[in-house]
């Protein structure tokens, strides 16, 4: 069992910076990382963990590409990855989800990311860190992945629930970035940023409050929940929100609306 929680706070992380087999990965904008970052953190460009086949974005890179990226970062089977970004956790969670899909389980999200770290006065570093390469072996775990075919096959399955993490306008269909607007039939809306405390560095709201909201929106822990947005960026955050709240059967839809909304045979709902 990991000594680190799935969602780790800045105070706890500050006490473990020198731990063996701990790797901190920064997914902030490059200029932010260059200016200041958590001591020891290495930087990763978000584009390295997603694949684009226009109009579909946010797809999973090929296994060999993932192996190269994660090996270059210095991730081995013994490495515990703690990651953060400058937006509350979307990019960081997409990294965690991609690692989980690749078979890696030693993962944590820094709650509140760089804002929670810097605004609480923890030390910053200004020198660029270079990763020590390792040998990463991809052992695909597709149980965390929902595909278009999977969702189509389960649209009427009462044991499958769908969480749409996009904005209200995207969910309703009044704002659209694909051929079709709206949402996947039956999907419940829970915009990803609504789980963040805007008065506390974009940290998660209290867990009890989040659990009550999830229940109010109809999500049940004994069912499988599929999360999606436009490219499984925002919805990766929702994926780990659910995990942290005790939902153990969660899948992420990588193609998300960029695939569903552009496919000629998918059904959509609007409000």
What is the set of active-site residues?
A: 229
Q: How far apart are the first and last CA of the chain?
A: 45
DSSP string, 82-112: EEE-SSSSHHHHHHHHHHHHTT---EEEETT
Find the farthest-apart pair of alpha carbons in the chain and give their distance in angstroms, rounded.
53
Rounded to 10°, the helix 207-216/234-244 angle is 110
- Find out whether 178 and 263 touch, Cβ atoms under 8 Å: no
- Find out whether 255 and 148 touch, Cβ atoms under 8 Å: yes
Classify 264 as helix, strand or coil.
Answer: coil
């Amino acid at each position: 069992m990991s000594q680190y929680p799935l969602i780790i706070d800045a105070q706890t992380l500050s006490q473990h910076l020198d731990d063996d087999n701990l790797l901190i990965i920064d997914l902030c904008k490059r200029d932010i990382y260059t200016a200041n970052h958590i001591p020891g953190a290495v930087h990763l460009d978000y584009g390295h963990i997603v694949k684009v086949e226009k109009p579909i974005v946010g797809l999973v890179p090929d296994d060999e590409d993932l192996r190269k990226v994660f090996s270059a970062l210095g991730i081995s089977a013994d490495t515990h990855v703690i990651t953060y970004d400058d937006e509350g956790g979307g990019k960081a969670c997409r990294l965690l989800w991609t690692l989980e899909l690749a078979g890696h389980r030693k993962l944590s999200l820094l709650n509140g990311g760089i804002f929670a770290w810097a605004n609480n006065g923890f030390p910053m570093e200004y020198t660029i860190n270079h990763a020590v390469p390792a040998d990463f072996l991809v052992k695909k775990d597709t149980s965390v992945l929902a595909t278009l075919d999977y969702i189509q096959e389960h649209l009427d399955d009462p044991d499958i629930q769908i969480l749409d993490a996009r904005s209200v306008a995207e969910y309703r269909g009044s704002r659209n970035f694909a051929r079709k607007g709206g949402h996947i039939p039956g999907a419940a809306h829970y915009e990803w940023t609504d789980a963040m405390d805007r008065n506390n560095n974009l940290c998660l709201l209290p867990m009890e409050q989040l659990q009550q909201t999830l229940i109010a929106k109809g999500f049940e822990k004994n069912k499988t929940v599929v999360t999606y947005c436009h490219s499984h960026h925002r919805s990766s955050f929702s994926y780990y929100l659910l995990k942290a709240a005790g939902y153990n059967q969660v899948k992420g839809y990588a193609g998300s609306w960029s695939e569903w909304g552009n496919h000629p045979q998918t059904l959509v709902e609007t409000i």
